[in-house]
Structure 1
């Protein structure tokens, strides 16, 4: 409505002449669905809650690290490797590493729970409903699904259904594991028989699996040696006659027992494997802060003082068990040095000193918060005191002045709690130092063993190879992201080499690929990953599962249309409830034409002129009837001549007759 001019003067009116613009949406933000070590952010569970991350470090912060790296190696009577078997069959973490190695950036993680004993597609399928609420993801993959006994097919079918429903995402499918041509043929046939025929244009399958070269930190305890055929355990020391090497192995076994026990102790002290000692200390502090009655206050402080004694007692046990004279494992010496520094001793003394004034918080009979017993005696002895009774007989530091004039339990407790919590934190620091030291010794001994024992080095290499046999979906998602960023979503994500990959698990020849690329029965093309001499490992296919469909045969065409459709949909939302008349139609048409013209100039559309590359039609008599307008429908028709890859390049040669 025009401004009513009532007062004489000069008025300025700004008249918009430019049409609104369309911003292209992101095209390669994958959602990784699977099992994680943990799923916690700021104390809140992230299970089945999609979270966007941008790096491996961010993943590890919220979801932890890799699953078990344990590998069983089967050796023949000549101690040569026959076969290998990785215990864990969870691939999300390593797939994410491949994603970033191949150019990935932003992605979503949907944790369906902690590492399980067996994978269930039902867990993965359940996560899809939570992912449906997120607008950003444009790719869906679940590498863990291949470990389901029934295969990943039900999840993949549900993912294709979601992609068809939302029309803004694409599914990358893995085949089941195969290491021979026969197994790969069976894997492809099983996939084609079980994936169904619905919404195939929204997905693509890749195979075979790949041999990655992701770095591994394998220790001796990760490797089990069995005699093939009889499955009897082989001791590493029995594989060498070299006495110095056997001595290193003996020290390594001792360190491993310390590391394993320290981990179990830490889990008990923290109250659960998913929280740290610091988290447990904070829980105890929160209990104290929430305490109201005298009995609650007293109980909370009792728990805190018990906690510090428990930690130091466990340190004392490690000290007693450590060998005093080992040249390679000087844990006892490390503990003695730390105690001599006075920090932990002072912390322990602090708790004992305040004991005398905390023992009778209510003014009633003394109720000791530290009780002399065998555990306390051991801890006191480690700290340099005769025993627990001596420690509690009289305070070494008179802290009674701190309580002068304080009569209530809460007042006294508030004075004492600060130094006691500081003592707890010092004890935790000491325990963490001990744990880190043990791991350092274990790592050093493993490195010594690899350097001096050739067979062990070979076994470690073979174990790493077993763990690095991975489904390709994570690497493919990285390729999608890199190609989209460097060339555009309209470029086929093929003829691209894979990073952090040595070779495909199965060698597929030129002739063999034909039956995988073109499926005359169901059209379910499998994009093959192949090794080429002098080029490396390349993605050698770009077909969707609708491989015989002339419209949606190629991955880049489907994903390009997804991008244009979603971008245009978001941009035209501003015209909802605008007048459905010629003025609005002109704006909408100009907006879309400008967007498509830019894409045409970038090479996304086929044609020497814009009118050859696309058309946009909207208006009465073109795309709408008077009834459409009466019922509030504005119908826009967009046609695009998308570029398609030159999948088959045919060179024709003939003899030319000489003319002179």
Structure 2
């Protein structure tokens, strides 16, 4: 109270409680990649998929080309077989065959749009988007552009997770893993975020001929050895259901492919019985099919986009009706659309895991392991993993654990691993331990900033100690800290003779030590059975 200068009654308010520590958000992912459009500052904070589409635009073109008719007519190969045969998923590589026609992806393969979709399907919330360019100005995925996005993220304090979904489209494993090392170094430097990594070509199987290296072996060799506790990796890729069949049609083929599509459908018609032996319904079906395919070569991308405004379309079937009719009449066309859907729905798992991290943190907290949770909009892992392979992934000699995603009968697709890449460290083996430590460090750091330039004396020390102890006891009550009592769960020390010397005090240094017993997941549960003697 100021100096009293006149008679009267004065009220003085005193703080009955010390300052409190506010727990920082623990699951705010930052996605770096290419978008349909870029905001002026190329960065945005969103909380829903509709906001993403509003500010960053829609999906990439998803264009494919039919080519290379062969003499022998073959049915569509399974997606996994086609990809394993080439052992790569790159631009302009054949991705499979249908009825003897080769199917090729046209243009760069962008993953960010589908990743955001998968993120929100699995419980995702607030996240940051860093756009490094738009689709129309990009001929291929550039590692330099993605690195620029990572460097721009250093100015943002809120994100706690880092993902680069488009990285799996880089030209080679060497370039991909170079970027992974930069991601891990970035997180180690910031000390407040983790990287969620995919395995390059993670749709490939672990079993290889004698002497070969699996994609996981290559990952472990190339990912580096620094700051590994700030990263977690997941294998294999996922067969998802985020892209519906209704989102695909002949409009996803290049204009030059429509003639080949007509040829393929006409060949399909020639495989039916002779007209004189056909039923009336079959003849009608054939006649309708031929009338449709005669129109199909006239459909260009421009025609489909401006159908209602184009006066030349009078009397022609609309693109939507054409698509539905072809689906109902042509088994080859239907197989083509389903194959494209299966191919595009094969996704790296990092975005789904970011959603799981967010969901777990909102339900329980960062101290919970993001494991033993089922993945939404996921049909199956791209590669089934056995119990023996799980051991190989989880406990390698070098400690670089890769968390498995497995399918269990009656339970769905589950995340079945909770380790960082620093698996040989007793302190930082588990994702939950690393993330909870980051939450504690950042929360305490921000809270004690209020005491900067306060007198370095006992009153200040007691206030800080009281504030931190109140914060930690609340976390202990929630189950974030181990121990039967607060005394077993944590201790806070500050002051002369405990954490500081007289020289520290005179030099304006205030040292605080907090010891915490973090709870760790029950990764291995052992149940012992013994037979007892008969009592009666």
After TM superposition, the score normalised by the length of structure 2 is: 0.85
1:492 aligned partner? 369
Given the superposition, is the C-alpha separation of residues 530 and 181 from structure 1 closer, same or farther in structure 2, using an over 3 Å criterion? same
Distance 1:64 1:528 in 2: 33
2:265 to 228, 236, 247: 236
Secondary structure in structure 1 of the residue aligned to 2:532: coil
Residue 625, structure 1, aligned to residue 501, structure 2: yes
Using the TM superposition, give the Cα deviation of residue 628 of structure 1 relative to its aligned residue in structure 2, in angstroms.
1.0
Using the TM superposition, give the Cα deviation of residue 260 of structure 1 relative to its aligned residue in structure 2, in angstroms.
6.1
Distance 2:424 2:256 in 1: 48
1:118 to 140, 144, 154: 140
Deviates more, 1:475-484 or 1:172-181: 172-181
Greater gyration radius:
1
Whether contact under 8 Å (1:492, 1:555) holds in the other structure is yes
2:479 aligned partner? 603
Whether contact under 8 Å (2:262, 2:296) holds in the other structure is no
Correspondence 1:192-591 to 2 at 5 A: 192-216=220-244, 217-223=247-253, 235-241=264-270, 242-256=286-300, 258-259=302-303, 318-319=310-311, 321-322=312-313, 324=314, 326=315, 328-329=316-317, 441-520=318-397, 522-591=398-467
1:65 to 58, 62, 76: 58
Whether contact under 8 Å (2:255, 2:299) holds in the other structure is no
Distance 1:486 1:541 in 2: 19
Distance 2:118 2:266 in 1: 36
Secondary structure in structure 1 of the residue aligned to 2:405: strand
1:247-275 residue CA offsets vs partner (Å, 9 max, x unmatched): 22333443436526859xxxxxxxxxxxx
Deviates more, 1:159-168 or 1:592-601: 159-168
1:109 to 119, 129, 151: 129
Using the TM superposition, give the Cα deviation of residue 107 of structure 1 relative to its aligned residue in structure 2, in angstroms.
0.5
1:307 aligned partner? none
Given the superposition, is the C-alpha separation of residues 233 and 208 from structure 1 closer, same or farther in structure 2, using an over 3 Å criterion? farther
Given the superposition, is the C-alpha separation of residues 467 and 446 from structure 1 closer, same or farther in structure 2, using an over 3 Å criterion? same
Using the TM superposition, give the Cα deviation of residue 465 of structure 1 relative to its aligned residue in structure 2, in angstroms.
0.3
Residue 97, structure 1, aligned to residue 132, structure 2: no
2:217 aligned partner? 189
- Which segments of structure 1 move beyond 6 Å, counting only runs of 4 or more? 73-76, 224-227
Distance 2:479 2:297 in 1: 62
2:190 aligned partner? 166
2:88 aligned partner? none
Deviates more, 1:113-122 or 1:630-639: 113-122
Using the TM superposition, give the Cα deviation of residue 642 of structure 1 relative to its aligned residue in structure 2, in angstroms.
0.7
1:539-589 residue CA offsets vs partner (Å, 9 max, x unmatched): 100000001110000001100111111111111111001111111111111
1:651 aligned partner? 527
Deviates more, 1:530-539 or 1:178-187: 178-187
Using the TM superposition, give the Cα deviation of residue 448 of structure 1 relative to its aligned residue in structure 2, in angstroms.
2.1
2:165 aligned partner? 143
Given the superposition, is the C-alpha separation of residues 136 and 168 from structure 1 closer, same or farther in structure 2, using an over 3 Å criterion? same
2:277 aligned partner? none
Q: Can you give the 5+ residue segments of structure 1 that lack an aligned partner in the other structure?
A: 264-313, 330-440
1:100-120 residue CA offsets vs partner (Å, 9 max, x unmatched): 000001101111112322222
Distance 2:50 2:155 in 1: 26
Secondary structure in structure 1 of the residue aligned to 2:115: helix
Using the TM superposition, give the Cα deviation of residue 505 of structure 1 relative to its aligned residue in structure 2, in angstroms.
0.5
Deviates more, 1:10-19 or 1:597-606: 10-19
Given the superposition, is the C-alpha separation of residues 545 and 638 from structure 1 closer, same or farther in structure 2, using an over 3 Å criterion? same
Deviates more, 1:202-211 or 1:107-116: 107-116
Q: Can you give the 5+ residue segments of structure 2 that lack an aligned partner in the other structure?
A: 83-95, 97-103, 271-285
Whether contact under 8 Å (2:251, 2:304) holds in the other structure is no
